[in-house]
Copies of this chain bind each other. A is one copy, B any other.
Amino acid sequence: MNPFERLPIEKQARIVNASISEFAEKDYETASMNVVVNHAGISKGSLFNYFKTKSTLYDYVYALALGEVKAYLKDVRDSTIGLPFNERLTQIIDSGVQFIVDHPRLAKIYFRLVYSSDSPNRKKIITELQLLSNNYLGEIIQDGINHKELNSTLNKAQAVFYLDAVLNRFLKEYHDSLSNGKLLDRNDWVNSITELFTKGFK
């Protein structure tokens, strides 16, 4: 059992909270351990006692975020099995929006990872995420093909790529719209994306 896990939960929460905020607001390289320490109300030595390096702390926070995302994805996949492609896709996109509403800071860390460049294990993490996305969206698309809703000659890898591209970009835009005041019309966009791909993959 490592020293961090031995800590009282309240203290753990303070540290995790401060770390999430810092990694959400700044790139990995510019995120500051000093800021985390001050915000969490602990000493620098302690933080480096709990997490050997900045990279270790980042990995911990990232794992938290990924676990949360996976839970959302799993829920919506399992609860929409058997539904037509377009209804299923609609609910998946909407679930993505819901994640962003529920966990805006985790979403920001995710976007920063996907869209930005540094962070030590980025390549490995991105590869892992792509595999996840491929399996997940690939399954949805395959189901659509099986039910003759989508073109059977569809290049699945490409289809997943396009879906992933639009989804990610839209979710990022929605995330931004949360803070800049010009909130997007959730249903309008979700339906419009579903329409694009239901027709485009026909």
Contact = CB atoms under 8 A, between A and B. Distances in A.
Interface of A: 26-27, 29-30, 112, 114-118, 155, 158, 161-162, 165-166, 168-170, 173, 189, 192-193, 195-197, 199-202
Q: How often does this chain occur in the complex, in copies?
A: 2
B169 A165 contact: yes
28 contacts: A26-B117, A27-B27, A27-B29, A27-B30, A27-B117, A29-B29, A30-B30, A112-B117, A114-B115, A115-B116, A115-B117, A116-B116, A116-B117, A155-B192, A158-B189, A161-B169, A161-B170, A162-B166, A162-B196, A165-B169, A165-B170, A169-B169, A196-B200, A196-B201, A197-B200, A199-B199, A199-B202, A200-B200
Contacts of A116: 27, 115-117
A169 B162 CA distance: 8
A158 B192 contact: yes
A185 to B, nearest CB: 10
**Among the interface residues A114, A189, A200, which one has the most CB atoms of the partner chain B within 10 A?**
A200
Contacts of A196: 162, 200-201
A105 to B, nearest CB: 14
A26 B114 CA distance: 16
Nearest to A112: B117
Contacts of A29: 27, 29-30
A201 B161 CA distance: 18
Contacts of A166: 162, 165-166
A117 B31 CA distance: 12
